[in-house]
Amino acid sequence: MAIVMGLDQHRGQIAAEWIDTMTGEVFRARIAPADRAGVRTFLVAFKGQGLEVALEATTGWRFVVEELERVGAEVHLAEPAEASALKGKKKRAKTDWADARHLRELLLIGRVPESWIAPAHILDLRARVRTRHLLSHQRTEWQQRMHAVLYHHGVPQRRDLLTVASRDWLASLSLPAAAREQLEIALHVIDALELKLTPFDRELRAIAREQPGARALVREFYGVGELTAITIIAELGDVRRFANSRDVVRYAGMDITVYQSDAHRAPGHLSRQGPPALRWALYEAAQRARFPASPDRAYYQQLAERIGGNRACLALARKLLKRSYHLLKELGDQALAPVA
């Protein structure tokens, strides 16, 4: 490597600091505006110069990485929280230049906490499954708002408010005008979300039926369907970057955190430090995998009797995640093959 650079990226500008390893000279520059054209113009001078760059995996990293690869740079994507932790607990000045220098120094000594740079087709697929997850989550939130309005006015609880029968029941209720307006707005928003979700689901299912990794997950594991399989593929990516299945569990945020000091040990809970869409897919698959026809039924029942049904489902979700890791690892490159 001839030039080692750290980039601190923001929406308005990007701070760059680099060192010429042949001369030892350090340089700084500010890229503004921080868009594709600005980055491309800045990088023209580094083409063919043996450039190696570290930047954090924050919003907007994709186009910067694409432009860096365009000039032949070797790119290292740093996990933001771990990169920040490497600064230590001592109070220091916090500036864009200091952050860029920190990344440059980590790269020089080989201590950048690497994040995986997914290929373009996986990034696009990941964006789609996350959008689908967001739409579904918003639909659930609006249903919860409807339940809250009804309870606030003393209406008996009813589970599914979106069926034709339930909508007729809602129309027959005697409610204040403000409450009626809240319910109508909620139903209107839910209907609009459904108009987007239905074709979205159809397209993702079609991709899952063609994508080799997703097909293998559906075929091998009871409870994993087309939507959950394609979500697992998109969020996990290339599992060969993980040393073992325990690392995959931590990546998904399904590991149990523990805080212990001397004789005191606080109760553990899920870390939830990974992709929410991945945890949703695994928990949905586990809900199906506890059915009587499932080969994991006995495992679920044994745990449910001891720790309760919800925690047993979480344990089953972790088991499905570990199995998915081993299967996708065996598939190798084929696990992430793009759909024609």
- 304, two tokens: 């449910």
Q: Report pLDDT for 261.
A: 64
* Cβ 63 vs Cβ 7: under 8 Å: no
Confidence of residue 245 (pLDDT cuts 50, 70, 90): very high
- Tell me the three-class secondary structure of 242-275, residue by residue: CCCHHHHHHHHCCCEEEEEECCEEEEEEECCCCC
Q: What is the pLDDT of residue 192?
A: 97
Contact criterion met (CB below 8 Å) for 15 and 34: no
Angle at which helix 245-252 crosses helix 226-236, to 10 degrees, equals: 100
Query: Residue type at 283?
Result: Y
**b/e burial code for range 206-232 (CB count within 10 A of at least 16 → b):** ebbeebbbbbbbbeebbbbbbbbbbbb
**pLDDT tier for residue 265 given thresholds of 50, 70 and 90:** low
Give 40-51 pLDDT, tens digit per residue. Answer: 999 999 999 999
Residue 148 has a pLDDT of 97
The pLDDT score that the predictor gives to residue 259 is 65
- Residue 307 to residues 272, 297, 311, Cα–Cα distance (Å): 20, 15, 6
Look at the block and give the residue holding tokens 């200091």: 98
Share above pLDDT 70 across residues of the chain, in percent, rounded to a whole number: 96
The whole-angstrom separation of Cα 318 and Cα 50 is 43
| Residue with the larger pLDDT of the pair 268 and 143 | 143
- Per-residue pLDDT at 271: 81
Q: What's the mean pLDDT in 127-154?
A: 96
Whole-angstrom Cα distance, residue 46 to residue 159? 61
CB 7 within 8 A of CB 16: yes
Whether pTM > 0.75 for this model: the answer is: yes
Specify the pLDDT at position 270: 80
| 264 pLDDT more than 70 | no
Q: How confident is the model at residue 255 (pLDDT cuts 50, 70, 90)?
A: confident
Per-residue pLDDT band at 88 (split at 50, 70, 90): confident
Say what the pLDDT of residue 269 is: 77
> With pLDDT > 90 as the criterion, what percentage of the chain qualifies?
89
pLDDT tens, position by position, 278-327: 999 999 999 999 999 999 999 999 999 999 999 999 999 999 999 999 99
Long-range contacts (CB closer than 8 Å, 24 or more residues apart) made by 25-34: 28/97, 28/100, 34/9, 34/10, 34/60
Confidence of residue 93 (pLDDT cuts 50, 70, 90): confident
Instruction: Return d(Cα 317, Cα 280) in angstroms, integer.
Output: 10
- Chain mean position to CA 18: 31
Q: How confident is the model at residue 7 (pLDDT cuts 50, 70, 90)?
A: very high
53 strand-pairing partners: 5, 75
DSSP 339: P
Distance CA 208, CA 200 (A): 12
The two counts, helices (H) then strands (E), for the chain are 13, 8
Please compute the mean of the pLDDT values over residues 155-181 and round it to a whole number: 94
DSSP H or E run through 210:
helix 177-210
Q: Give me the long-range contacts of 194-197 (CB less than 8 A, separation at least 24).
A: 194/139, 196/135, 197/132, 197/135, 197/136, 197/139
